[in-house]
Structures are given as structure tokens and as C-alpha cells.
Amino acid sequence: MKRLQVAIQGCAHGQLQHIYDSLKTLKTKPDILLILGDFQSLLTKYDYKTCAIPPKYAKLGDFHKYYTGQLEAPILTIFIGGNHENMGQLTKIPHGGYIAKNIFYMGACNVITLMGVRMAGISGIYNEFDHLRERPDWDQIDWNREKRSTYHVRDSEIVPLAMMRERISLVMSHDWPTSIAKHGDLKKLLKQKPYFRDEINDNSLGSPLNWYLLKRLKPIWWASAHLHVRFEATYKHDHKVNNDEIDLDIDLDLDSDLDLKPGISTQATSTKINTTTKFIALDKCKGGNSFRHLTEITIDYDENHPTCQDRALYWDPEYLANLKYCLSIKDSLKGKDLQQIPVDELQSNVEVGHVEDWSKYRIPVPQSYRSVIKQTEYVTEKFLQ
């Protein structure tokens, strides 16, 4: 059993160079870097019209230097979208894709495998008015009216993730799962962010969709950002939790060893049941010498897993099968609340079985990043038709 060193960054706000410099402060050199949203992959000032940033905060950032090749990401970087993104670019790759060398966007919702470790990502934030609305195609978006709607999570888009059977090691989301604040040091959180109190009391702080997924998927780790505060919690799945229950003295050991033994197959059922999810939220990148926006965790992996032959990213066969099925019945999912969708029934309609050849799931690295939509066309033609 070997260990994958994972660095995790909160909101990036376009400060890639500072983030990569911050990695030098970590105890161990990480294998990958995860960024939890507000990445801001802006190329020119014309991208401001598709990015929800108030004019007084609008800055180009330094992603364009990595896009053009002037700079190169020193580590494989995987990111999800937040609520301040270049959506004119990201809406073209809903299933994920590379946007620069060593920089991979997870898409609106996705599951990928690296070194036998399965990671899921949900981009955007929850909005009570948009979560049931159908998302327009990228070439039909009215950016003057629908800019913010483009980064709102849709219930129907996370159904393939909710259908997952095999254990997921880590889930990334921009906004927090609702109720998770009640499973950490709530007193400390309210001291730092006293204006969270009302939302915590009425259970509206964060995303109910993420809370549903946390309880259903039971990942080992869940990492979020968005609220610009560092917070740690542990959620126990082996008992029913009273909504009013508050744990105030939970010590989250970020360097603990995890008993992760990912299998080669994606069978119809999984015998690996995780009883505890460790939650970590991170602050935004503020520059200077403050590094509360960054942390690292260790995940054990089975070096005999076929994806360990290289350090490439792989699409997850089970997730792709779920996504293909959901696309075939998308009309029946329109306008339905996730709680109303018979996820277990849908799950029973998809069979993946043992995967003999993982090579066809290897995510190809494009030679050019100027036409990201070609990556969407590739995954659609190869797996989703």
C-alpha cells in the first residue's frame, strides 16, 4: 500500500503563482493539487462579460500565462468551478477537460481516477431558484441575463454521481453541505463568522444537494471552500444524527492514514462501507504569508491498480455508464427535485461489471488548448452515444 500526497487549495481567485509558491511550505511534496473553485481562468479582459465578478474586484490574474505556455504548472492541478469563473470557457467542457498543461477542470460534475484513487467534483453553487431549471447550451446563453445562472448546480446533473456504488475517496464541492457546521467546532466558527448563525439555525448554510450526496456516497473526505474560513468536521454515518446535535470538540487529524484499497472492478455492489466522512473547508488565497487557504492530506492506494502504471488521469467507468444512462432519460429528469428522483431504481438499470482494459479510459492530453470543446466532443463520441 502506497500513499498519494494531496495538496488542497481553497478559492484561488486567479492567484496561481502564489498558490504554487505556497506548496513549498508543505511538509511533504504533493503528488497533485486540488483547487476548490473560483479558479478564474481568465484569458483577456473580454472574459469579464462571462465571469460574475464586481468591476472593482475584476483582475485578470495569471492563468493566461499558463494558458499561453509562458509559465507551466509545476504539479498536476485539478479544479472545480465556483461562482466566480470564466463560464464562457467552462460551459464548453461540461464533462471536464484540460485547459492548460497540467491543469484539468472537473466539469459541472464528474468522477475521475488517479493512481487507483477515485475523486468526485461538483462545480458551482446551489441556488433555490435555478436548481430545477434546465441549463441552456453554451451557444444559447444570454450572458447579460444568465451569467450567474450558468454556475448554479442542477439537480439532474448530479444524478449520475448519486448513482455511484463503488466507494469514492474524496469529493470536492465549492459550497458546503448543509448541516456540516453542526459536526465540527461550531463555537469557533461562529466566533470567526458570527453572521453564519441564522443560516446554520435554519439549515440553509450551504447546499442541500451536497448534504444529500455526503450522506449517500459516504466518501472518506469531503473538501469545500466558498465561505472563506477554515473549518474541520467529522460526520459519522453509522447512526442517525439529530438535526439539533452539535459536536464541539472534534479533532480532525489531517495527516491520518486512510485504509483505502480501491478495487480494479466496478461491480454492481460494493462491500466497502465507509462509516465516517472527514470534512475540510479552506480559506481563500489572500497572498502574503497566510497559508490557511492550503492544506494536505494523505490517501492510501493499491499500487497494483491498473491506473498506477502512470500518473495519468482516467475517466471513471461507472460514472460514465451512469451519465450515459441519465442522458438517455434526461427528459424524465427535467424539473425534478433530487429527492423525487428514484436514484436506487435508476442505479439498478446500469451494469458496469469488471473492467479489463483501463487504457481506453485514460484521459488524453490535448496538443492545443485553444478549442476546449473538442474534448467534450471526444468524450461524447467515445462514451456517451
Q: What is the pLDDT of residues 181-215, one digit of tens each?
A: 999 999 999 999 999 999 999 999 999 999 999 99
Average pLDDT, the chain: 90
Lowest mean pLDDT among 141-150, 263-272, 317-326, 350-359: 263-272
Instruction: Give the Cα separation of 380 and 320 in Å (integer).
Output: 10
pLDDT of residue 241: 43
pLDDT of residue 256: 32
pLDDT of residue 265: 35
Distances (CA, A) of 296 to 35, 116, 254, 282: 12, 18, 7, 11
pLDDT of residue 71: 98
pLDDT of residue 272: 58
pLDDT of residue 72: 98
What is the mean predicted confidence (pLDDT) over 301-310?
91
Residue 216 pLDDT level (bands cut at 50, 70, 90)? very high
- Which positions ≥6 away from 125 have C-beta within 8 Å? 82, 83, 151, 152, 153, 174, 175, 207, 226
Cα 144 → chain centroid:
27
Residue 266 has pLDDT above 50, yes or no: no
Residue 148 has pLDDT above 90, yes or no: yes
Residue 355 has pLDDT above 50, yes or no: yes
pLDDT of residue 242: 44
Strand duo 76-79 + 97-100: pairing: unpaired
pLDDT of residue 352: 85
pLDDT of residue 289: 53
- Reduced DSSP (H G I as helix, E B as strand, rest coil) percent helix, strand, coil of the chain, to 5: 30, 20, 50
Residue 252 pLDDT level (bands cut at 50, 70, 90)? very low
The tens digit of pLDDT for each residue in 332-341 reads 999 999 989 9
Largest CA distance in the chain: 53
User: And the C-alpha cell for 301?
Assistant: 492506494
Q: Under the phi-then-psi rule, with left for phi > 0, alpha for psi from -120 to 50, and beta for the rest, what region is 312?
A: beta
The tens digit of pLDDT for each residue in 99-125 reads 999 999 999 999 999 999 999 999 999
User: And the C-alpha cell for 354?
Assistant: 469488471
Residue 381 has pLDDT above 50, yes or no: yes
Residue 359 pLDDT level (bands cut at 50, 70, 90)? very high
pLDDT of residue 292: 65
Instruction: Give the Cα separation of 230 and 213 in Å (integer).
Output: 21
Whole-model pTM: value is 0.90
pLDDT of residue 2: 87
Residue 349 has pLDDT above 50, yes or no: yes
Instruction: Give the Cα separation of 165 and 47 in Å (integer).
Output: 39
Instruction: Give the Cα separation of 8 and 280 in Å (integer).
Output: 9
Residue 243 has pLDDT above 50, yes or no: no
Q: Compute the radius of gyration of the chain from its Cα atoms.
A: 20
pLDDT of residue 287: 63
Q: Give me the long-range contacts of 140-147 (CB less than 8 A, separation at least 24).
A: 141/87, 141/91, 143/49, 143/50, 143/88, 147/49, 147/50, 147/51, 147/52, 147/87
In the chain, what percentage of residues exceed pLDDT 70? Answer: 89
Residue 82 has pLDDT above 60, yes or no: yes
